[in-house]
Chain A
Amino acid sequence: MASSILKTEKLCKSFSNGGALQHVIKNLDLEIIEGDFTVIMGASGSGKSTLLYALSGMDKPSMGKIRFGEKEIQDYSNDELAVFRRGNCGFVFQSVYLLDNQTVLDNVLTGALIVQKNSPELVKKAKDLLTKVGIAEGLWKKYPNQLSGGEAQRVGIVRAIINDPKILFADEPTGQLNSASGKDVLDIFTEVHKNGQSIVLVTHDLKTALRGTRVLYLRDGGVVGDHRMPVFGEDDEKDRRASLTAFLEEMGW
C-alpha cells in the first residue's frame, strides 16, 4: 500500500476581513498519497489556493496539524518553513514568477543552489531538464521577458523540480497559457508524474484535471468529493473524461 506523504488533521485557515473572521479552510482532514497526482478543484473562493499554500508551507494554518512524513510543520516559523520548502517542495506558480533580472539558466540554478552546492553535475542536470522540457540551449541565456508564456512556464517547472522535491505543488500552471502551450506544460507534468513525482495541483480546468490520478473537490473550505483515476494514458481518454465530468457534475461544478 502506498504511504501517505502529507496529512492534515482538522486544518483551519481563517483571514481577518475588515475585523470579521473569514474561515476559508474548516477542520480539513486530508491525506496525500506518495506518487499520486492530486488535483484540487472547486469553485472560485472555495479555498483551493489557500489549501495549496498551507500544504506547501508557503503559509501557516490558523489551526490544526500538517504532517509531512514524520514532521509536523504547522508550528514552524517562517524561516523554518523556508528551510522545509527548499528541501521538500517544488512550486509552479500560475504567473510563473521567474526572476526578471536573471537568465533562464540562472533562474533554475537560483532554486537549486539554495539546496545543493554548485557542481558540473548540477549544471548539467539543469541543462538536461531544460532541454527535456523543450527549452533549447539558445534560450538558456535569455531573460524571462524574452520568453513566451509557455517557455517561461516550462522554465518554472524545471526550477521547481531541479531539487527532486518530495512533492511538487502547482497553482493553475496553465492558467495564463494558450491551449497549445498549456498542453505542452501538462505533458511535462504527466511525464514527471510517471517518473514517480508526487504532485498536488490546483486547477479549475477540466483538461488539466484529467491528468491527475486523484481529484479532490473543495467546497466551503472542506473536501466534499474524492475521485480516483488511473494514471493518464493508461486508460481510454473518453472514459476518463466521462467519469471525471460525471464526478464534477455531481459536485455541482
Chain B
Amino acid sequence: MNNKILRLSLFNLKKNRREVLGIIFMTLVTVLMLSVVLINQKKIDTAFDESYERSGCVRQTVLFKVDKYRNAFADILLKDYGIEKVSEGRLIYSNMVDVLGKDGDTVAYNLMFATEKSERKMEAFHKLEQLPEEEIAGVEHPIWLPEGFRITKGYVAGDDFLILKNGKEYPFTIVGFFEAGLMTNDGYFYKVILSDEDYALFAMLFDSSKDYECVGLFFDGEEIDFDRYLEDCNEVASENLSFTTYFNCYRWEKMNETNFLEIFMMMIIGISAVTLIASLFMIRHKISGDIEDQMQQIGVLEALGYRSAEISLSYLYEYVIAGGLGSVLGAVIACLITPFVNTGISVMLGRSVAGGSGMGGAVIAVAAVLFLVAVFALLKARRVKKYPPVVALRKGIRTHHFGKNILPLDKMHWNINLGLAMKGFFGNLKASAGILICIITAGTAIMFGALTYDFSSNGPYGFAAMMGTDWEVLMVYTLSDTDIDAFRQELLTLPEVRKAIKGFHGEHVSVKGSSDSAEVISFGDYADSENVHPYEGRLPQYDNEVMIGLRRSREENIKVGDSIVLEYNGLEKKYIVSGIVGTIQNGGTVVYLTNDGYKRLNIFAAENVVQIYPAEGVSISKLQAAIDAHFGGTAKQAAEGGLSGQSRDERIRAAAEEKIAAMLNQYGVTDVDYAVQIGDELITGNSRNFVIKECFSYEGIIKTQMVPIAETTKNFCFYALILVSGIVAVLITIITSNDVRRQRHALGIMKGLGYSSKDLMMQLALKYMPVILAGTAIATVCGLWINDLFWGLLFAAFSKVNVSTVVITDILMLIFCFAVAYLSAGRIRKISVTELMTE
C-alpha cells in the first residue's frame, strides 16, 4: 500500500515539475545559507582565537603618553588587580598616517610603531612570510607589518611601504609579516615594527596631539576594570589621564574584528529565514491547492480502502522528497564553497582562516529544514481527514459556494478584469494570509537590503554620514598667539575655501555619574554644521545646552529635557539636553556644545581650531596645498623639515624657521625672534610668520576605514537583493501556477465566453495585487524599522534614509511582483477551450 502512496507522490512530483523545482530551489537556498552560517560561525571564533594564541600576545595593554607615565601605574596592576606580571615597552601612537597605497593612492591608517624589543614584550613576534635573512640585513628601512596587510591589502614581502607625514616621505621596505594578537584592525590600530633607528627618528618627529610616544604596559590575567584603574592612576598622577590613556584587550580586539562578520552572518540568517518562511507557506499553500485539485482522486483512494493518514503521507513524501533534494544539494554546495568562504572570512578578519567543511553544521541545517518541511506538510496534509469518500467524490463541500456574494457584478462599475480579480481575492482571503506573510518577510528583506545598498553605494559617505560631525573638512590648529578671527577672514579670501568656522577640537570633558568621558564637538552656531542631524530634540542653541550621542542616551537613560553635569579640571556645570544624535564618533559618547557652552566649562579656553570647508570640487589635499602656499606651511611641517628654500637666504630662513617651529610645536614656546649675520648682511625674522600649528583631516582615515566596509556591504546587499527577489519570483510563480491549475476549468469557460489569455493573465495578476500592496506597505514599515534598529543597535547611529530610495524600491517591488505574476500566469495560454469541452 505504501508503494502506491509513494507512486502517487512521485506522480505528483513529475506532474508539478515547476512547483517542485521552486521548492527545491528554496530549500536549497535555505539550507545553503544556514549551513554557511553553522559551518563558519564557529570558525570565526576559532580563527581569531587560534591566531591570537599563535601570536603569543598578552591579553591586555594600557598605553600612557610617555610624559604622563609613572612607574607606580604598573605597581597598581600588580598590587591591586591581581596581575602577576607586567611588561613595559614603548610605542608611538600615530593617528591618521598617510601611506602610499599599492595603487598609487594615499591611504590613511592609524598606526602604532614599535621596535622588535617592545613587540617581544607584548607578543611572540611570530613571523610569517618574510624576505631571506641576508636580504633583510641589507634593507635600510625595514618594516614588519601585521598579517592583515598581506591578506586584506595585498602587500607582499619586498614591497615598498611609503609613509607620508607632513609633506615628507619616509620610505620603508616590507621585510615580512607577523601574526599579531592586539592592534591589528582597521577600526583601531595597526601595530608595525620598525628598526630601533627608525623608531627613534619617529619618536622625535611624531609629537602632537594626534601622535606621540607612549609607554605600554602589557599583561595577562583577568580583564581589569579599566575605568577603576584609570581613576587609580589619576589619583597617583593628580591629573586627568583619560584623554591620553588607551586600554585594549583580547575581548575588545575580538569584538572589533569579528563585529562586521557577525553582522554578515546575521544578514545571511535573515535571508535564510526569509527563504524558509516563504518555503513553508508555499508548501502549505500548494498542499491546500493539491488537495482541492485531487479531491476526486482522494475520494477514489478512500473508497478503495486507503486511510486518510496514508493519503496524507503521499503529500508528506512529496515535499520531503523535494525538500530533501533541495536541502542535500544546499548542504553539498555549502561544503564545496567552504574554501571560498574561508578566504572571505580571512579577508574580513585580516587573519589566516583554515578549517574543514564542518559537515556537522550542514547536517544540522538539513535536518532542521527537513523537519520543518515535514511538520508543515503533514499539518496541512491532514486536511484530507476532513473529506470522507462521498464528500471527496463530490469534490468536497468547499467547492460549493453558499456564502455571501462579495462584490456582485451588477453593482460593480470597475473594469471587468479588475472586478473579477477583486472578487477572486476577497473570495479566498484565507489563502492570501500565507502569501501576505511571505511578501512581508521577503519585502522587509528587500527594503532593508535596498536601503543598505543605497547607503553603502555612496562609498564612505553613507557611513561617514553617521559620524555625527562634519568630516570632509580641514581642521587647522592655530598657534596660541594667532588672531583666529583675522586668520579666518584671510582664509575666506581663498577661492578654495567655501566656509571657515572657528571652534574647539579634541577637547575632553567628564560627564558626572558616567564612566565614559566625552570628546567635545563644538560649533559657534550649529546652523553652520552640515552633518549633525538630531534624531530627537534639536541642536544646542544656548550655552547651557548640550546634545548627546544616542549610545550615551540609551546606556545612561538620558532623555531630551534632562540635565547632565559636565566637569573640566574640577569645574562642574549643568547643561540641559536639547537633543540626541546618532553618531559613531568615539563610540557615540561625544557631547555637542556651543563654543560659548564649552567656554562656560573651560573659562580660559579660546577657540583654537578653524574648520575649513573646501569649495565645490576642491579636495582636501588641494585645500591643504592652497593653505600651505598662502600661509607658508605649518609649524609642524617646518619642525619636521618639510619646508625648504632654494636660495641661500631662503635656506637660512628655512633653517631658522625649522628651529622656531620645533620650539613652537614641541616645547610650548609662544614667541621667537632671530637674527643671523653673514658678513655685512643681517637676516632677521620671528615666529609671527607662523599662524598654523598643524592641519589634519578625518577624511583619509574615514575613507580607509569605510570604503572596504561600504564596498563589501554594497556587494553583499546587491547579491542578497537578487537572491530575495529570486525567492519572491519563485514564490509568486508557484502560487500563480498552482492557481492556474486549480482554476483551469473556470479559466477555460472564461475563454469560451470571449476572455482572452491576456485578460485572464491580467485578472490573475491583479488578484494578488491587494495582498502584494498590503505586504509591500507593511514590509516598508518593517524594513525602515529594522534599518533603524540595525544601525541604532550596531553603531548607536542612524543611516540617513533616502525617501526616493524607499519610494523607488516600493514601486519596483510592486512592478516586479505584478510582472512575475502576470508572466507566470502565462500558462493560461495553454488552456484550450476545446480540450475543456471534450473532457
Which A residues are closer than 8 A to B by beta carbons?
A: 49-50, 53, 58-59, 78-79, 82-83, 85-87, 89, 91, 93-95, 97-103, 105-106, 109-111, 113-115, 118, 123, 126, 141, 143, 145-146, 159, 171
Q: Is the CB of B752 within 8 A of A100?
A: no
Q: Is the CB of A118 within 8 A of B755?
A: no
| Contacts known (A110-B409, A145-B400); A86 close to B753, Cβ less than 8 A | yes
Q: Is the CB of B416 within 8 A of A97?
A: no
| Contacts known (A49-B838, A59-B834, A78-B757); A126 close to B410, Cβ less than 8 A | yes
Q: Which of B399, B412, B753 is the most central at the interface, judged by chain A CB atoms within 10 Å of its CB?
A: B753
A-B contacts, 9 listed (Cβ < 8 Å): A58-B833, A91-B752, A100-B401, A101-B746, A102-B405, A105-B408, A105-B409, A109-B409, A110-B420
| Contacts known (A82-B755, A83-B754); A105 close to B834, Cβ less than 8 A | no
A102 surroundings in chain B (CB, below 8 A): 405, 409, 423
| Contacts known (A101-B401, A103-B408); A159 close to B753, Cβ less than 8 A | yes
Q: Is the CB of A97 within 8 A of B752?
A: yes
Output the least CB separation between A129 and chain B (Å).
13
Q: Is the CB of A106 within 8 A of B409?
A: yes
A24 to B501, CA, bound (A): 93
Known contacts A59-B833, A82-B759, A118-B410; 16 further A-B pairs (Cβ under 8 A):
A59-B834, A79-B757, A82-B754, A93-B837, A94-B837, A95-B837, A100-B399, A100-B746, A102-B409, A105-B408, A110-B416, A113-B419, A118-B409, A126-B410, A143-B401, A146-B402
Residue of chain B at shortest CB distance from A78: B757
Asked if B120 lies at the interface with its beta carbon under 8 angstroms from chain A, I say: no
A98 surroundings in chain B (CB, below 8 A): 749
Our pick among B420, B755, B758 for the contact of A86 (Cβ within 8 Å) is B755
Q: Is the CB of B746 within 8 A of A82?
A: no
A87 surroundings in chain B (CB, below 8 A): 754
Q: Is the CB of A78 within 8 A of B756?
A: yes
B757 surroundings in chain A (CB, below 8 A): 78-79, 82
Residue of chain B at shortest CB distance from A140: B410
| Contacts known (A99-B749, A105-B410, A114-B753); A53 close to B402, Cβ less than 8 A | no
A106 to B404, CA, bound (A): 13
Main DSSP-derived SS at the B contact region: helix
A78 to B750, CA, bound (A): 13
A25 to B756, CA, bound (A): 26
A118 surroundings in chain B (CB, below 8 A): 409-410, 412-413
A82 surroundings in chain B (CB, below 8 A): 751, 754-757, 759
Q: Which of A86, A94, A171 is the most central at the interface, judged by chain B CB atoms within 10 Å of its CB?
A: A86
A97 to B749, CA, bound (A): 6
Hey, what's the 0/1 contact readout for B746-789 against A, CB within 8 Å counting as 1? Answer: 10111111111111000000000000000000000000000000
Interface residues on B, range: 35 or more
Q: Is the CB of B746 within 8 A of A114?
A: no
A91 surroundings in chain B (CB, below 8 A): 752-753
A111 surroundings in chain B (CB, below 8 A): 753-754
Asked if B4 lies at the interface with its beta carbon under 8 angstroms from chain A, I say: no
Asked if B642 lies at the interface with its beta carbon under 8 angstroms from chain A, I say: no
A86 to B412, CA, bound (A): 20
What 5 A-B pairs are tightest by C-beta distance, nearest first?
Answer: A86-B754, A82-B756, A79-B756, A113-B416, A109-B409
Which residues in chain B, 385-443, are within 8 Å of chain A measured between CB atoms?
A: 399-402, 405, 408-410, 412-413, 416, 419-420, 423, 427
A58 to B756, CA, bound (A): 11
Q: Is the CB of A114 within 8 A of B408?
A: no
Q: Is the CB of B416 within 8 A of A99?
A: no
Residue of chain A at shortest CB distance from B754: A86
Q: Is the CB of B752 within 8 A of A101?
A: no
Asked if B829 lies at the interface with its beta carbon under 8 angstroms from chain A, I say: yes
Asked if B832 lies at the interface with its beta carbon under 8 angstroms from chain A, I say: yes
A95 to B836, CA, bound (A): 10
A86 to B754, CA, bound (A): 4
Residue of chain A at shortest CB distance from B403: A143
Residue of chain B at shortest CB distance from A116: B416
Which B residues are closer than 8 A to A by beta carbons?
A: 399-402, 405, 408-410, 412-413, 416, 419-420, 423, 427, 745-746, 748-759, 829, 832-834, 836-838
B753 surroundings in chain A (CB, below 8 A): 85-86, 91, 110-111, 114, 159
Q: Is the CB of B427 within 8 A of A101?
A: yes
Output the least CB separation between B188 and chain A (Å).
66
A99 to B746, CA, bound (A): 6
Residue of chain B at shortest CB distance from A58: B833
Output the least CB separation between A146 and chain B (Å).
7
Q: Is the CB of A115 within 8 A of B754?
A: yes
B748 surroundings in chain A (CB, below 8 A): 97
Our pick among B405, B759, B833 for the contact of A114 (Cβ within 8 Å) is B759
Our pick among B400, B401, B410, B834 for the contact of A53 (Cβ within 8 Å) is B834
Output the least CB separation between A98 and chain B (Å).
8
Q: Which of B413, B754, B759, B837 is the most central at the interface, judged by chain A CB atoms within 10 Å of its CB?
A: B754
Q: Which of B408, B833, B834 is the most central at the interface, judged by chain A CB atoms within 10 Å of its CB?
A: B833
Residue of chain B at shortest CB distance from A126: B410
Q: Is the CB of A53 within 8 A of B416?
A: no
Residue of chain B at shortest CB distance from A146: B402
A114 surroundings in chain B (CB, below 8 A): 416, 753-755, 759
A89 surroundings in chain B (CB, below 8 A): 754
Residue of chain A at shortest CB distance from B753: A111
Output the least CB separation between B402 and chain A (Å).
7
A93 to B751, CA, bound (A): 13
Q: Is the CB of B400 within 8 A of A58?
A: no
A114 to B410, CA, bound (A): 13
A114 to B834, CA, bound (A): 20
B749 surroundings in chain A (CB, below 8 A): 97-99
Output the least CB separation between B270 and chain A (Å).
39
Residue of chain B at shortest CB distance from A127: B410
A126 surroundings in chain B (CB, below 8 A): 410
B837 surroundings in chain A (CB, below 8 A): 49, 53, 58, 93-95, 171
Residue of chain B at shortest CB distance from A87: B754
A115 to B415, CA, bound (A): 11
Residue of chain B at shortest CB distance from A80: B756
Output the least CB separation between A133 and chain B (Å).
17
A97 to B410, CA, bound (A): 20
A94 surroundings in chain B (CB, below 8 A): 837
Q: Is the CB of A59 within 8 A of B754?
A: no
Residue of chain B at shortest CB distance from A86: B754
A171 to B755, CA, bound (A): 19
B412 surroundings in chain A (CB, below 8 A): 118
Output the least CB separation between A164 and chain B (Å).
13
Q: Is the CB of A103 within 8 A of B752?
A: no
Q: Is the CB of B405 within 8 A of A85?
A: no
Q: Is the CB of B401 within 8 A of A113?
A: no
Q: Is the CB of A109 within 8 A of B410?
A: yes
Q: Is the CB of B402 within 8 A of A83?
A: no
A113 to B401, CA, bound (A): 22
A125 to B550, CA, bound (A): 69
Output the least CB separation between A100 and chain B (Å).
6
A94 to B402, CA, bound (A): 24
B408 surroundings in chain A (CB, below 8 A): 103, 105-106, 141
B758 surroundings in chain A (CB, below 8 A): 79
Output the least CB separation between B120 and chain A (Å).
82
B755 surroundings in chain A (CB, below 8 A): 82, 86, 114
B413 surroundings in chain A (CB, below 8 A): 118
B838 surroundings in chain A (CB, below 8 A): 49
A53 surroundings in chain B (CB, below 8 A): 833-834, 837
B416 surroundings in chain A (CB, below 8 A): 110, 113-114
A91 to B753, CA, bound (A): 7
A97 surroundings in chain B (CB, below 8 A): 745, 748-749, 752, 836
B401 surroundings in chain A (CB, below 8 A): 100-101, 143, 145
A146 surroundings in chain B (CB, below 8 A): 402
A85 surroundings in chain B (CB, below 8 A): 752-754
Residue of chain A at shortest CB distance from B408: A106
A114 to B755, CA, bound (A): 7
Q: Is the CB of A123 within 8 A of B759?
A: no
| Contacts known (A118-B412, A118-B413); A110 close to B750, Cβ less than 8 A | yes
